[in-house]
Structure 1
């Protein structure tokens, strides 16, 4: 069978640096090929170069696209911009990784889909709008007429991704390039988007190139796999071949990167480090209609929550976006007001910063995205040592520097590995190294409890495993307690002793992690576990 797309000796060069080194792959009609690798492996640049979407790059090699069996294949890399413009969205479409940045915030999603239909099919404005609504309906968005009139920020993550898929598919392409289409989504939404793509692919006879680092996703979805490392394609084959008998060490490393459990299986003992009873968090909101003129309503984000974090143990809080888990973490940090009881090491958050200073030393936080949580204008020494200026102001500069070096050594960062380490800035480190800096900043003041808000969701699988191993080691060595916020069931299995499952602000199920995840009672918990498997 003639391949729909045959790529040979593809090379991409920026200036003097070649970032994609002569890769070969092909996609048959109706086939799903997964291009797998970590950040920086070259997989996204390879896909974008096929459509002439990489700026300031030299692209060489061959990419022959045979959309019409009656016509000879076209050489994509030699097409003029006018022909590429006609081909994009019509014969080859692309779904980008982050819909919030790919969609225009100033236009409704219906307008953006309708624009594609007007440009590609020459429809009138009315016909294009009706087509946009039908495209949204085909992706399973509820109330597509209303959703078409919504702006991107008014939709959930899953709905935004469906809108992106609707826009990509309205041109009925022969080939769809999907760049990490589920990375920013919760586990159940991931399954829904993959099911949707599979249904559309089968219905339209479309081929699909899936760009991802998630091997669990690849195992469920793809027909064949091509593995990239540092711009080289190191291995390819069927899903069964690659997962049962990987030949390249890098492929084996990716497959073995699923989080592993290595925690001290200690039983409950001592007083809780944190406990809550009947805790509630509400936000004021406007009421619809004339009622909003006279009074305000409220939205309850966390309802009647009860939990406890025991000494030396990890409590995992798992749920989808909008479940209330991050709101619960903010209340636990004393950053937003709450009702009900919440105690941290036997104390309660007060109304002002001065009364809370002693508690702040005992409770520290590690955020989801280390790049945005670390100041780009501060050096490593300033970032890690900042807490000491607040909680131990009597320390002189030499003693503070020694404490900073020790905290960095605790998380695996040393001057021998990074010359001039203390004077470096966050942008000079990788994502995993930046997360280690964030952990060192939290540890330096000697906390008893760390609140971990999705600490590995922004990291590649191999880096995620390294950070989880670091957190496990630190818990054993320093007898730390963790409140772990995540939507990743695999991370909960690896890290948690106890778990609570949240949905729509309520705790649906709670208990020891093996009991809850291996024999879930609630249907929602069963759905989460099944989607992760």
Structure 2
């Protein structure tokens, strides 16, 4: 079989610094090839360079695209001008991106954005293009496609936005689809739906797919072949079965061994709960439709009657899709939302005044999902990690505060001896995993009893995720910490949690020991979550 795309000795450099080093691979017609690697491995730059989308890149080698007819000569994508590439983009090769909210234009309806592709690429009239856009949206399984076509991106859910972007990419029926982390921003069940959708569309149209990802479960379920990249080098290639069952390269084996491993300690069941909730409820005021909204406001209940208790050295996992209420529950636990029912923190209740809550706030700290967003870019490491001491222990001298900062950094595996000038550095000078360690040090420095972990590893590569989870497990053992773990990743819950709450639409559908709930789920929704985690 003649390859659809044959890449030979492809090199990509920026300002003379080479980041992709002579890679060779091919994609056959109708094939699903996964390009796997961590952030910085060069996989996305490689895919963008095929379409001339890597800004200011110096690209060498060749990438031969087979002609549409058997006797047609192949086209070298890397030698085409910008004008020539415009004819290739969409017609022959299309691309969908990781985050649809930033890839879609917020000023136009999704229908207009899909219709524009049909007008430009197929020369259809506006009426024909609009009808074609609705058909394309319907093909992706969006409910009520005619109505959704008139919606703006922000009016759709994450899964619907990704389906709209897929419709736009496939509107001109390309021969190759480049899918760059197409499900990373989605919940676990939506990931399965999008993968199934891409597989169905691939079978219907016969297109090939180049999937760019670091999610090995996704690769195992979706791809035909795998190509593994490390630091710009393609280190291994083969069928999914070959690479997963008999990985040859050390880096591939490292990736395969990066699934979270369980290493929890037994909780102190005799101790009083660090946090306990009974009938916890959180509601938001909403406007009522029609004339009723003139006189009174309604309420949307985001969390209904949640019960739980967390003791020292215990982790409670809260799982569910976006909109399930798990983040709202975490905000209530942090004393940031008004709530009904009972919520005790070390025997006290959150009060209406911030000053009265200061003692409780020291006992409950938080680690957020994205450390790059949660750490101030204008503050040094010393200022970031030591900030809590200014509030909770203002009597400390500068030297005493610095000693505590260094101790907290040492606790999270970032001693000053390994990072010269550590205290004076800024967040952008560290990797994602190191930034998350800084965020954990900031939370630990005030010696809390409980950490709220809000998706603490979902923004990290798989190998870094495993390192951070091991760190959290060690800290829990050493410091008798309790964790409230908010996540949609069932594998992380298996590795970290003692008990689990499964939430959907604000309700706790199922709760209990993690082995029971995830091993023998009694609710259909829990079974779907476990199955989607694969």
TM-score by length of 2: 0.99
CA contact (8 A) 1:6 1:26 kept: yes
In structure 2, how many angstroms separate the alpha carbons of the residues matched to 1:267 and 1:374? 33
1:28-49 deviation per Cα after TM superposition (whole angstroms, max 9, x unaligned): 1110000000000000000000
In structure 1, how many angstroms separate the alpha carbons of the residues matched to 2:415 and 2:236? 34
1:262-298 deviation per Cα after TM superposition (whole angstroms, max 9, x unaligned): 0113463221111111111111112233333333222
* Correspondence 1:365-444 to 2 at 5 A: 365-444=366-445
Corresponding position of 1:97: 98
1:384-436 deviation per Cα after TM superposition (whole angstroms, max 9, x unaligned): 00000000000000010000000000000011211000000000000000000
Corresponding position of 2:59: 59
CA contact (8 A) 1:316 1:486 kept: yes
In structure 1, how many angstroms separate the alpha carbons of the residues matched to 2:382 and 2:44? 35
The secondary structure found in structure 2 opposite 1:240 is helix
CA contact (8 A) 1:67 1:91 kept: no
Corresponding position of 2:360: 359
In structure 2, how many angstroms separate the alpha carbons of the residues matched to 1:132 and 1:284? 37
Matched, 1:18 2:36: no
Corresponding position of 2:520: 519
> In the TM superposition, what is the alpha-carbon distance from 1:67 to its structure 2 partner?
4.0
Corresponding position of 2:259: 258
Corresponding position of 1:470: 471
CA contact (8 A) 2:268 2:313 kept: no
> In the TM superposition, what is the alpha-carbon distance from 1:248 to its structure 2 partner?
0.3
CA contact (8 A) 1:32 1:208 kept: yes
* Correspondence 1:292-371 to 2 at 5 A: 292-371=293-372
CA contact (8 A) 1:331 1:337 kept: yes
The secondary structure found in structure 2 opposite 1:140 is coil
1:482-521 deviation per Cα after TM superposition (whole angstroms, max 9, x unaligned): 0000000000000000000000000000000001100000
1:136-166 deviation per Cα after TM superposition (whole angstroms, max 9, x unaligned): 1111111111211111111111111111101
In structure 2, how many angstroms separate the alpha carbons of the residues matched to 1:489 and 1:385? 33
In structure 2, how many angstroms separate the alpha carbons of the residues matched to 1:233 and 1:405? 40
The secondary structure found in structure 2 opposite 1:71 is coil
Q: Could you tell which deviates more after superposition, 286-295 or 102-111?
A: 286-295
In structure 2, how many angstroms separate the alpha carbons of the residues matched to 1:226 and 1:276? 48
Matched, 1:494 2:483: no
In structure 2, how many angstroms separate the alpha carbons of the residues matched to 1:55 and 1:311? 51
In structure 1, how many angstroms separate the alpha carbons of the residues matched to 2:370 and 2:460? 9
In structure 1, how many angstroms separate the alpha carbons of the residues matched to 2:139 and 2:355? 55
Matched, 1:145 2:146: yes
Q: Could you tell which deviates more after superposition, 258-267 or 453-462?
A: 258-267
In structure 1, how many angstroms separate the alpha carbons of the residues matched to 2:290 and 2:42? 52
Corresponding position of 2:215: 214
Corresponding position of 2:123: 122
The secondary structure found in structure 2 opposite 1:289 is coil
In structure 2, how many angstroms separate the alpha carbons of the residues matched to 1:28 and 1:290? 61
CA contact (8 A) 1:67 1:174 kept: no
In structure 2, how many angstroms separate the alpha carbons of the residues matched to 1:134 and 1:267? 58
Moved >4 Å (runs of 4+): none
In structure 2, how many angstroms separate the alpha carbons of the residues matched to 1:326 and 1:523? 22
The secondary structure found in structure 2 opposite 1:300 is strand
CA contact (8 A) 1:269 1:311 kept: no
> In the TM superposition, what is the alpha-carbon distance from 1:530 to its structure 2 partner?
0.7
Give 5+ residue unaligned stretches, structure 1. none
In structure 2, how many angstroms separate the alpha carbons of the residues matched to 1:53 and 1:247? 32
CA contact (8 A) 2:268 2:312 kept: no
The secondary structure found in structure 1 opposite 2:54 is coil
Q: Could you tell which deviates more after superposition, 264-273 or 392-401?
A: 264-273
In structure 2, how many angstroms separate the alpha carbons of the residues matched to 1:201 and 1:291? 49
In structure 2, how many angstroms separate the alpha carbons of the residues matched to 1:292 and 1:35? 53
The secondary structure found in structure 2 opposite 1:404 is helix
Corresponding position of 1:48: 48
In structure 2, how many angstroms separate the alpha carbons of the residues matched to 1:334 and 1:242? 48
The secondary structure found in structure 2 opposite 1:161 is helix
TM-score by length of 1: 0.99
The secondary structure found in structure 1 opposite 2:376 is coil
> In the TM superposition, what is the alpha-carbon distance from 1:305 to its structure 2 partner?
1.2
Matched, 1:230 2:231: yes
CA contact (8 A) 2:116 2:129 kept: yes
Number of aligned residue pairs: give it: 533
> In the TM superposition, what is the alpha-carbon distance from 1:25 to its structure 2 partner?
0.3
Corresponding position of 2:8: 8
CA contact (8 A) 2:321 2:488 kept: yes
